[in-house]
Amino acid sequence: MLNPQQLLLKLTKNVTLNQLCVTNYPEYRSVNLEYGYSMRIELKKTAIMFEYLCEMFGPLLVTSGIRCSALNEDKRVGSNSKSAHPRGEALDFKPILEGITVMQIFEQLRKNKDFLVGQVIVYADEGFIHISRFVGRSKRDFRICRLVDGKRTYEKITVA
């Protein structure tokens, strides 16, 4: 178990460990926080990316950040072994305030050639965005995911 000081760890000025260890599945919360703490150096880099996203788009809600292997392998998460989430390199997020949509965020990120990033997937029908840091693979790889008959279908988008 993490002690209170570890639990309240700030990764950057505005981003906490807690924020990047969030999960919809409460049974993993504690183990995922411990795993996140052990990966805090990687998470600091991801927190810097998240701060930059918040500067661009206003307040954002992380819906999934780092995932311990048990969480990532849970069928309900719909992830796979190649996911950047267990490495602490990826985030899923959505805007907190109305006035900007996930498609608008996706378009602005796509046009921002200076934003060195790994993979960006907008889940158009589910209302969130997946983003990973660039760590030597999948450089500025932009995709749109739509639900077709309930199945996730991905379309690669050309970027400059």
Positions that interact with Zn ion (CB under 5 A):
92, 130
CB 102 within 8 A of CB 95: yes
Q: Which is nearer to Zn ion, 130 or 133 (CB)?
A: 130
Task: State in angstroms the smallest separation of the CB of 92 from Zn ion.
Answer: 4
Q: Which is nearer to Zn ion, 42 or 92 (CB)?
A: 92
Q: Which is nearer to Zn ion, 13 or 76 (CB)?
A: 76
Task: State in angstroms the smallest separation of the CB of 32 from Zn ion.
Answer: 14
Q: Which residue is nearest to Zn ion (CB)?
A: 130
CA terminus-to-terminus distance, the chain = 46
For residues 92 and 30, give the distance between their C-alpha atoms in angstroms, rounded to a whole number: 19
Helix (H) or strand (E) holding 137: none
For residues 53 and 107, give the distance between their C-alpha atoms in angstroms, rounded to a whole number: 13
Task: State in angstroms the smallest separation of the CB of 132 from Zn ion.
Answer: 8
